Amino acid sequence: MTKRIVITGIGITSPLGGTTDETWTNLLAGASGASPLEQEWVEQLGLPVTFAAQAATKSADVLARQEVKRLDPSSQFALTAAREAWADAGTPEVDPERLLVDWATGIGGVWTLLDAWDTLREKGPRRVLPMTVPMLMPNGPAAAIGMDLGARGGERTVVSACASSTESLANAYDHLQQGLADVVIAGGSEAAIHPLPLASFAAMQALSKRNDDPKIASRPYDVDRDGFVLGEGAAALIVETLEHALARGAKIYAELLGGAVTSDAYHITAPDPEGTAAARAMRAAVENAGYSLDEVGHINAHATSTPVGDIAEYNALLAVFGDRLSEIPVTATKASTGHLLGGAGAIEAAFTAKALAEKVIPPTINLDNQDPAIPLDVVTEPRPLGDEPVLAISNSFGFGGHNAVVALRTYVA
């Protein structure tokens, strides 16, 4: 028998705030997390892009000194978000062997890796820290969370570029359906605002070059969009069976209906312009849960603000929803947060859950001149969702042709 799965806790550290409440408040207010980079290396290296969406709260302000010393920034963000989500869920009493972590990252410990390489070249092998490999490995964030919260049911790691943490959330649903756990800590983190990723993304013409005004740089669906803004941070969601949540009197943000994962098999960085596999993921996420596509009432789009990506997603949406697409309110929250890469799907799923719980869709900022080739109903001011239950999807697509979609619905007892 299919179990009902719910989201009972959310934790976020992002460019908009160091907590879920701060982030959500600033998102609804139409804030932007983008700002100029002030590190010395920006000028020294002559980077063509001199801004990013940096985390609003420094890990050193919220974590113990030893945690900052022994964890890569991607794991620091993960631990911060997971602890908040766990507390938000009411610190569930759960058998450790029934508690599972499914975490995601797109790049992993890039800061640790490249700092260690500099140390090796400049000071020799004796000065390389013994914790370098544990700090840089992609499963480091999952391990940090698992050890901190005592999860013995498994620590899974997903690495699927920008689709990673949406896939993690879809996995969480599957773990619970299969009876592998009673509670899953799912989410994703990224800390890639480093000169090498910035230079690489800039070289492939993926980043916005609006150095003179970073706050308006991320502008999904705008005719003048010119690339994404690199972001950092983490989002964690506590996911559990409804039976387990009700037994402990937990508050419930939304029901998680499941997800779907597909791949383009098209190009390592460019999306399939027809969006065929992306469309299949959207259909499957909804229909596998037993719902009709006609019931979808809100979409949190992947929408990174790239000229190619936004139109490809629109083509996929049009293939799925047809003429009804113009009636579905769409939001693109990367306009505010920047692109958190492996953490993007988790924070956007969290925003979708918050939207369903609070009955308000967060806005898409910087849409001054909507691309006529993308005639969506884009939400540009906070919009009430109404009192009826709403079915929503959250899309994530990544390099390598990874597509992941999750479906959520207003919780109804």
Per run of 10 residues, the mean pLDDT along the chain (length 413 residues) is 97 99 99 95 93 97 97 99 99 98 98 97 96 97 98 98 99 98 99 97 98 98 99 99 98 99 98 97 97 98 98 98 98 99 99 99 99 99 97 99 99 97
Beta-bridge partners for 51: 36
Q: Residue 258 carries which side chain, given as an amino acid letter? A: G
Residue found under tokens 């967060």: 362
pLDDT at site 411: 99
User: Do residues 76 and 221 both lie within one domain?
Assistant: yes
User: Do residues 29 and 172 both lie within one domain?
Assistant: yes
User: Do residues 328 and 401 both lie within one domain?
Assistant: yes
User: Do residues 345 and 278 both lie within one domain?
Assistant: yes
pLDDT at site 38: 87
For residue 131, with 0-12 CB atoms within 10 Å meaning exposed, 13-18 middle and 19 or more buried, which class applies? middle
Beta-bridge partners for 238: 9, 185
User: Do residues 47 and 83 both lie within one domain?
Assistant: yes
User: Do residues 226 and 333 both lie within one domain?
Assistant: no
Residue length of the chain: 413
Pairing type for strands 391-398 and 402-409 reads antiparallel
Supply the range of the domain harboring residue 145: 5-248
CB hemisphere CA count around 180 (13 angstroms): 20
Q: Residue 256 carries which side chain, given as an amino acid letter? A: L
pLDDT at site 122: 97
Q: What is the pTM of this model?
A: 0.98
The DSSP code sequence of 297-338 is EEEE----S-HHHHHHHHHHHHHHHGGGGGGSEEE-THHHH-
Domain C-terminal end among 217, 248, 279: 248
Residue found under tokens 């988790």: 346
Q: Could you tell me the maximum CA-CA distance found in the chain, to the nearest angstrom?
A: 64
User: Do residues 229 and 271 both lie within one domain?
Assistant: no
pLDDT at site 39: 87
Catalytic positions, written as ranges: 162
pLDDT at site 1: 82
Using CA atoms, how far residue 8 sits from 23, 173, 190, 294, in Å, is 18, 13, 23, 27
DSSP state letter for 341: G
How many domains in the chain?
Answer: 2
Which residues, other chains included, contact 125 with Cβ-Cβ below 8 Å and sequence gap of 6+? none
Residue found under tokens 């001199």: 50
Residue among 77, 231, 203, 167 nearest 398 (CA): 167
pLDDT at site 153: 98
233: domain CATH number is 3.40.47.10
Which residues, other chains included, contact 41 with Cβ-Cβ below 8 Å and sequence gap of 6+? 47, 195
Q: Enumerate helices (H) and strands (E) in the chain, giving the number of each.
A: 14, 15
User: Do residues 108 and 221 both lie within one domain?
Assistant: yes
User: Do residues 53 and 175 both lie within one domain?
Assistant: yes
